[in-house]
Amino acid sequence: MKIVDMRVRCVAIPLNAQLRHNTGVHPGYFLRTILELVTDEGLIGLGEVGGGDQRGALMKLKPRVIGMDPFHLELIKLKTLRAIYYLSNARLYAAIEMACLDIQGKALGRPLCDLLGGPVRDRIPMIAYLFWRYDRSGGGHDEHPEDMADLCQELHETLGVTAMKLKAGVLDPNIEARAVELCRDRMGPDFGLRIDPNGVWSVPTAIRIGQRLEAVNMEYFEDPAWGLEGNAAVRKAVRIPIATNMYPAKFDDLGPAIRMGAVDIVLTDIHYWEGPRGVKDLSAVCRTFGLGVAMHSGSEFGIELAAMLHTAATIPEMSFAGDAHYHYLTDDIIEGGLMKYEGGAIRVPTGPGLGVTLDEDKMRHYGALYDEKGDYYARFHADPYRPDWYPVVGGQ
């Protein structure tokens, strides 16, 4: 079997609110680049990548994958990720690997998880990811800790989720700490709580807030300060496990992070860690050094979510509920629309490969929406209500 073509398209799907974070605002939609690899046997593999419009970057790699056997992933990785430093982007390779694994599963008539060792669970628990929102459904903005507690309770009741993470680094740290405390009061002692300022807090602020939240019995404190040094300093002073999806977020930094004692839990991400197979490599390292394993979300659509579910299904030690932005999407580009939450979890697709299929009508519709809206990464996630605002790291 040989890869004979690569097709790439950008799509944008509306959200039910504008989502604020420490470096800006998702302006009412998420956007993704969708990849299709076509083989000489007529099989088509699907991949997905975020980070803005990646069509040009992927097409630069097209000559390096045409003619390749989709089962020869180590060679494809060498040609697209290892061999050319100026294109050594793990995000792009991950989308290609995703599509190749989809082809492999379709050729064998087996789900993708079977290619990674087989599933140990058939559904993946998910969290309620809490964002401070502009223009939320029903009108208004989130401005008070009670707004986050209300959202947490709503998502628990509608999706069945039993854990949440607050995307912090947006409002005053004391307000965000209070939001977590209110969630504990509202949801009871067994509900999982996490907070993630994405490294924007200074070390003193992160220590102060972390020590305050020790009484809340948090599952973990994610990226409390900037970099490996910042996380290591907070970890020494706070009795809450330190998690990360930022430091380390690649294999080059994993050894230093372990030696420095910078992290307790690593959040896997298919794009940061070189595809589903790379996530399995990461999990083996975490198991060796006694680190916990969780799952990061990158505002994915159904193709990547399917790959995440398949991968997570094969990792026995992934005991934390996974991150998901998915409940903010109003639709999906896969046939059947949005995947369903069942008791706070999403089932691993059972069909061959990824187990999902593109809905071409929706691809055309949301491709046109992308053409209308454009790439918000080019506008630096601009804040529509604070036009002169820019992100400040460590300023709190």
What one-character DSSP code corresponds to residue 15?
Answer: B
60 is catalytic: no
Which stretches does DSSP call E strand in 172-304?
A: 192-196, 220-222, 242-244, 265-268, 292-295
Alpha-carbon span 36 to 73, nearest angstrom: 16
In this prediction, residue 88 carries a pLDDT of 59
296 is catalytic: yes
- Alpha-carbon Rg for the chain, nearest whole angstrom, is 20
In this prediction, residue 222 carries a pLDDT of 98
Structural contact between residues 308 and 354, judged by C-beta atoms closer than 8 angstroms: no
In this prediction, residue 83 carries a pLDDT of 66
Tokens of 54: 């990646």
In this prediction, residue 138 carries a pLDDT of 84
Q: Which domains can be identified in the chain, with CATH numbers?
A: 3-109+358-378 (3.30.390.10), 115-347 (3.20.20.120)
Give the bridge partners for 39, in sequence order: 3
In this prediction, residue 85 carries a pLDDT of 59
- What are the pLDDT tens digits along the chain (396 aa)? 999 999 999 999 999 999 999 989 999 999 999 999 999 999 999 999 999 999 999 999 999 999 999 999 999 999 998 765 555 589 999 999 999 999 999 999 999 999 999 999 999 999 989 999 999 988 899 999 999 999 999 999 999 999 999 999 999 999 999 999 999 999 999 999 999 999 999 999 999 999 999 999 999 999 999 999 999 999 999 999 999 999 999 999 999 999 999 999 999 999 999 999 999 999 999 999 999 999 999 999 999 999 999 999 999 999 999 999 999 999 999 999 999 999 999 999 999 999 999 999 999 999 999 999 999 887 778 899 998 888 777 655
In this prediction, residue 89 carries a pLDDT of 86
What one-character DSSP code corresponds to residue 49?
Answer: E
- DSSP for 71-84? T-HHHHHIIIIIS-
Catalytic residue among 21, 26, 167, 271: 167
Catalytic residue among 26, 77, 296, 310: 296
187 closest CA partner among 144, 224, 142, 157: 157
Alpha-carbon span 382 to 380, nearest angstrom: 5
From the number of C-beta atoms within 10 Å of its C-beta (0-12, 13-18, 19+), residue 42 rates as: exposed
What one-character DSSP code corresponds to residue 349?
Answer: P
In this prediction, residue 209 carries a pLDDT of 97
Secondary structure in 3-state letters for 119-130: CCCCEEEECEEE
